[in-house]
Amino acid sequence: GMEAAGWNVRKGIAAADAAPQPCKTLELLDTIRTRALDILAVQETGEGPGRAVRGDATYTWYADSRAGVGGHGLGFFVRAGGLQDRVAVGLPDATCAACLWLRVEGAGRTPDLYIANVYLPVSGAAGAPAAAYTDALDALMNDTLHFAGKGLVVLLGDLNPRVGCAT
């Protein structure tokens, strides 16, 4: 089987004004090796243009610094070797800006696997329009239904479910 997990690093890989933080990258790589993960979905990478996180010989890093509501950055570490050859990241038919989608091509009679790496801000958070959360959830639902028609779907990430308040 395939093992996957998600981890919100809270801009722990690269701060907006700094280069990638090698210690956090090494901690992530150590964790995925120790847990024998095939895929790690990472949220709030803080990765910006020119500050690409690097994998190693065992894992390859795929990312989009614009993904996630507010452009917080999303990425995947994917085990190198046979799995890496069957992966596509940033699917063109995805519509959810809060997600970075990854497809693992199925082998034989095994269906394709679609993994959504999701980051949604807390509803009402500073700088987040009130409708951003519900709009992102709607887009995520539409993408999920779309990809469920093509294969299996897994959602990983930080959905920040605190969305209401008593009035």
pTM of the model: 0.82
pLDDT tens string 57-79: 788 888 876 655 556 788 888 98
Residue 81 confidence (pLDDT): 81
pLDDT tens string 94-137: 999 889 999 999 988 899 999 999 988 776 666 666 677 788 88
Report CA Rg, the chain: 16
Residue 85 confidence (pLDDT): 87
Q: Which residues are 116's β-sheet partners?
A: 101, 155
Question: Which is more confidently placed, 55 or 157?
Answer: 157
Q: How many angstroms separate the CA atoms of 144 and 135, rounded?
A: 14
In the predicted structure, residue 13 carries a pLDDT above the cut 70: no
Name the least confident of 52-56, 109-113, 147-151.
52-56
Provide CB contacts within 8 A for 21, sequence distance 6+: 12, 13, 14, 15
Residue 160 confidence (pLDDT): 80
